[in-house]
Amino acid sequence: MTLRIAYGRLCQETNAFSPVPSTLDDFQRLHLLEGEALAAACARSGHEVPGLIKDAELSGLIAAARAAGRPVETIPLVSAWAMPSGPLEAAAFVELRDRLLARLRAAGPVDGVFLVLHGALRGTAELPEPEEALLEAVREVVGPEVPIAVTMDLHGVLTPRKVDPTTVLCAYRTNPHRDLFQTGRKAGHLLLRALAGEVRPVTRWRSLPLLLAGGMTIDLFAPMRAIFRRMKQMERDPRVLSVSLFMCHPFNDSPDLGWSAHVTTDGDAALADRLADELADLAWSVRDVKPPPFLSPQDGIATIRRAWLARKTGTVCVVDVSDVVGAGTPGENTNLLAALLADAKDLVSYVPVRDALAVDALWAKAEGDAVDLEVGGRFDPATNPPVRVAGRLRSKHATAHFGRAVVLDLGHVQLILTELPPLPIKPSFYSNLGLSPWRADLVVVKNFFHYRVYFALVHRKSVPIRTKGASDLDLPLTKGVFNDPVYPRDPVTDWRPADRRRRGLVAAGT
């Protein structure tokens, strides 16, 4: 008998402190595929997200189906993926949910459902938990007995209404994330094994009132390296199907925000409980390992100036920690630009800033024309005031993911203005605009982790610089509203009381 597996995606990481909401247009610009177009993108010859990643989670599911050793029909529904940004508008969610459900109903009876979620998608006050709503809607369509497999980013936030509908739940095991395909293949393989009766997944999980911990939270570095190594050891036990650690997206506004441990075993609830407790304890043990210090612009520039060997043999990656587009900020930080213009005249700098109005005003000009205008300050001028710049228009470009872009030659600063949030996650962001990172003393990156993978050949040193913006790590500590005391904002000594309430084992306030 042929197994029928329906698959789809709704993926976006929400920054509650961003002034820019997420809309349907954001998904249409990056990745919104349905039906046969989605199937073609996930095939061996396809490209799941053109320009960003060839093989992601859904391609992993297809690979697992090919290797199943029995007939498997995979049924494409809808795949929607947007850049991190502010809360998702309710109308956009309803549209995407209804498209996916319509295709699921039209598919007829299915044996299983495979969904790719982020885990940290949040909506507006009208519909704050879109992922919970989607899982409940899918469960209503397929009924209580059909297994649902879900993959999530390891920055997801677990809640009972996300965990309870799932039969299989697997998170990425790497940070920076480089195992999307492997995670999809693993979850798909477990789903197929469950359908074949080879395993009986039993899940246990824990929720920790923990916002910031683990240093850089990179899986290859201490202290997280030892924890991820232990997770791999756990999975070597044939009774253990999956072990996941969720380190949460701290800019999310979930009232139960925090790290989570999740374990699935083959029918062994006691083992799953024991390992979930162990993993939660390991996560709690690194709660006092703080992120690396973030420098002021002046101290950061002085550090770069001293790093002459790094600049001579490659470039310095300046992490714009207050405007991390990869964490959902608007991308319009002008404070760092102003500092580099004023205080780093001996350093060749590449700096991206989002300003659609400036791009529109410059688009009619010819390359080589003189320019003199204010840039930035379109969304939050109190945080990112406009900056006056003067120079010449170096080049104009129509990009696939950042809209129109112009490069302004301001002397020691090459300023890239984009219509949409700029995410210089790869050197190609700059090289496609005619700027070689090898020729720069510093390039600004607007992500915490992933640049380390893609910039590896040219990257010689990282310098995190903080100004003020929607990805400042003190925002969740000062502005977050939570159901429990949370560490490190509050003096929490034991994660278990909050965990029991969050999982519904005790009533709130008891």
Q: Amino acid identity, residue 13? A: E
Rg from Cα positions in the chain: 23
Which two tokens mark 465?
Answer: 């610089």
- Which residues have a Cβ under 8 Å from the Cβ of 274 and sit 6 or more positions away? none
Q: What is the rounded distance in angstroms from the CA atom of residue 312 to the CA atom of residue 355?
A: 32
Question: Do the Cβ atoms of 15 and 251 come closer than 8 Å?
Answer: yes
Q: Is the pTM of this model over 0.85?
A: yes
Q: What is the pLDDT of residue 258?
A: 98
Cβ proximity of 50 and 33 under 8 Å? no
141-166, pLDDT tens digit by residue?
999 999 999 999 999 999 999 999 99
Q: In DSSP terms, which residues pair with 487 in a beta bridge?
A: 210
Give the type of residue at 167: T
Q: How far apart are CA 203 and CA 265, in angstroms?
A: 7
DSSP 356: H
Task: From residue 172, give the alpha-carbon distance in Å to each of 117, 163, 182, 337.
Answer: 11, 16, 8, 34
Sheet of 31-34: strand order equals 31-34, 72-81, 3-11, 112-117, 148-152, 168-171
Q: In what order do the strands lie in the sheet with 240-246?
A: 201-207, 260-266, 240-246
pLDDT score of 432 more than 70 = yes
Q: What per-residue confidence (pLDDT) applies to 51?
A: 77
Where are the domains positioned within the chain?
3-285, 297-465
Please state which architecture CATH assigns to domain 3-285: 3-Layer(aba) Sandwich (3.40)
What span, in angstroms and rounded, lies between the C-alpha atoms of 191 and 224? 28
* Contact partners, residue 4, CB within 8 Å, separation at least 6: 72, 73, 75, 107, 109, 110, 111, 112
DSSP 8-state secondary structure symbol assigned to residue 505: S
Q: What is the mean pLDDT of the chain?
A: 97
| Measured distance CA(118)–CA(258) in Å, rounded | 15
In the predicted model, is pLDDT for residue 294 greater than 70?
Answer: yes
**Which pLDDT does position 508 carry in this prediction?**
59
pLDDT of residue 510: 55
Over range 66-89, report the average pLDDT. Answer: 97
457-510 pLDDT, tens digit per residue, is 999 999 999 999 999 999 999 999 999 999 999 999 999 999 999 999 987 555
The set of long-range contacts for 389-397, using a CB threshold of 8 Å and a minimum separation of 24, is 389/341, 389/415, 391/415, 392/368, 393/362, 393/365, 393/366, 393/367, 393/368, 393/369, 394/367, 394/434, 395/367, 395/433, 395/434, 396/362, 396/363, 396/367, 397/432, 397/433
- Using CB atoms within 10 Å of the CB of residue 122, give its burial: 0 to 12 exposed, 13 to 18 middle, 19+ buried: buried
79 SS3 class:
strand
User: Rounded mean pLDDT of 281-308?
Assistant: 97
Calpha distance 250→227 (Å, rounded) = 20
- Per residue in 171-189, pLDDT (tens digit) is 999 999 999 999 999 999 9
Supply φ then ψ for residue 337, to 5 degrees. Answer: -60, -45
The span from the CA of 55 to the CA of 488, in Å, is 37
At residue 414 the predicted structure's pLDDT band, cuts being 50, 70 and 90, is very high
Is the pLDDT assigned to residue 351 strictly greater than 70?
Answer: yes
389's enclosing H/E stretch is strand 387-398
Answer yes or no: is pLDDT of 246 > 60: yes
